[in-house]
Amino acid sequence: MNTFTSYISLFFYWLLLGVIAFNLQAQNTYSADKKIAVKDLKKDFKIVQKALQNGHPGLYTHRPPSAIDSLFDSTLQNLSEPLTENEFYQQLMPLVAQINCAHTRLVPSKAHKSFVKNQQELFPFYLKFTGNNVYIRYNLSRTKSIPVGAKLISINQQPIDEILNTILPNIPSDGLNTSYKYRLLDQGFINYYSNFFGRPKLFEIEYIAPGETDITEAKVKAMFIKNINQNYYDRYISEAKKNQKPLRYERLASSNNTGVLTIETFDTYSIKKADLNYQKFLAATFKQIQKDQISNLIIDLRGNMGGQENSAELLTYLVGEGFKFFHHAEVKTDKKYTFLQHSDLPSNYKINAYDNGDGTFWVKDKNLIKTHTHQAKPNTFKGNVYVLVDGRTLDTAAQFTALAHHLNAATFIGEETGGNYNGFNFHTTLVTLPNSNLRLYFPLIRVKNAVTNYPYADMGLIPDYEVDPKIEDIIEGKDTVKDFTLEMIDSKSDK
């Protein structure tokens, strides 16, 4: 090894030690009880207000300016005493949630996240919200005697309804949608409970076991998140599930020429990680569908939270003529943004846009938004299409459902999509607040889908057939939504 190489190796060795030491110091010096001065809280709040008013294109989409501006005023007025980071988070979350944008999020600082991960223990259950009740879906605790499927009544002497009355108004969602909030809480309840009710070492829970009527009490120790996650994978995720591809197709041998196309994500990274190519997969799949002589195609988009891949590509295999996917995309300004010093964007960043002369600005950049007409594929599917959706059908997946619905290309089964029917926000930026170090993520572009005359402007797609699975079926592994669809196909085939 020559002298230069030795110096380089030594440099990176000491750099690595420095990074490790810094992280350890951050963990050891972070105090969740440290109070932030009122003047600093107000400075951070002003950055939030400035960033959202200058950059968020959907700030007033679902609520009038007077309502949102009133929230800005009241939130500022409430900052009258020093607060911890988490208390400040609790003050800001109602404002963030009332914007009604699932792509707008406020998250704790990196130091707080590391503190919780390494030093704090949490509620060790994943839940299921269905039929207006809350159930234990996965028991990840050390107390294995608590059965999955048990109806949760209370946590630490507080009824579950009261807990939800605090948490739900603090979860952002597209428009007035609630299905996304409940699907998010299925696994995310752990974090929301931690942020709003603290992190006790012991949880006293009340529940009703499956098949019982009496309430049972149990004391359950809190657990570190890494142990919760490990128990989830060890206890409930089979090897087959771990190895399952996010894009897959199967012909159902026992049904009426029915195929099932499952698209778990439109995220490019996740698809490539599975050694798949989205466009090639679709092309090969629809060739196989023709070969299989499929007359009923079920497309499962449940849990698909969108991504970078073009969901319009899927629609080109389902409709027989050209269509537009986007009508236009809006930004808040055609000038340089005024909050950039606190963001992850370049200091001169702006988005090229047309000034329509009425206070609106439409994106010019065709790399950001494509408003062209999509042409149908030669081997367009001619049979019946059934799309399965739920509250986690979001972003470009929800956009696909809106266009497919608008073009009468499918029948929809499940629950309301989490994504708004008329459009969605994207091109997210990060603003870090200098005093609290809270992190605000919000979008800079709002897309208007090429749809019209939907009667529920502030909602997602309402399915043609709403199916609310029973907890017994969920625990037994029955797919109620898919079974309902297959029964409907069978009944039509019998006529």
Answering whether pTM is above 0.85, one says: yes
The reported pLDDT for the residue numbered 243 is 85
The reported pLDDT for the residue numbered 368 is 76
The reported pLDDT for the residue numbered 495 is 59
Q: Which of 437, 317, 441 is nearest to 385 (CA)?
A: 317
The reported pLDDT for the residue numbered 161 is 96
What fold, for 121-223? Pdz3 Domain (2.30.42)
Which class for 144: exposed (0-12), middle (13-18), buried (19 or more C-beta within 10 A)?
exposed
The reported pLDDT for the residue numbered 239 is 78
Q: Where are the domains of the chain?
A: 38-106, 121-223, 240-493
The reported pLDDT for the residue numbered 8 is 46
Q: What is the CATH number of domain 240-493?
A: 3.90.226.10
- List per-residue pLDDT tens for the chain, 495 residues long: 454 444 445 445 555 555 555 554 544 588 989 999 999 999 999 999 999 999 999 999 999 999 999 999 999 999 999 999 999 999 999 999 999 999 999 999 999 999 999 999 999 999 999 989 999 999 999 999 999 999 999 999 999 999 999 999 999 999 999 999 999 999 999 999 999 999 999 999 999 999 999 999 999 999 999 999 999 999 998 877 778 999 999 999 876 799 999 999 999 999 999 999 999 999 999 999 999 999 999 999 999 999 887 899 999 999 989 999 989 999 999 999 999 999 999 999 999 999 999 999 999 977 777 778 889 998 899 999 999 999 999 999 999 999 999 999 999 999 999 999 999 999 999 999 999 999 999 999 999 999 999 999 899 999 999 999 999 999 999 999 999 999 999 888 765
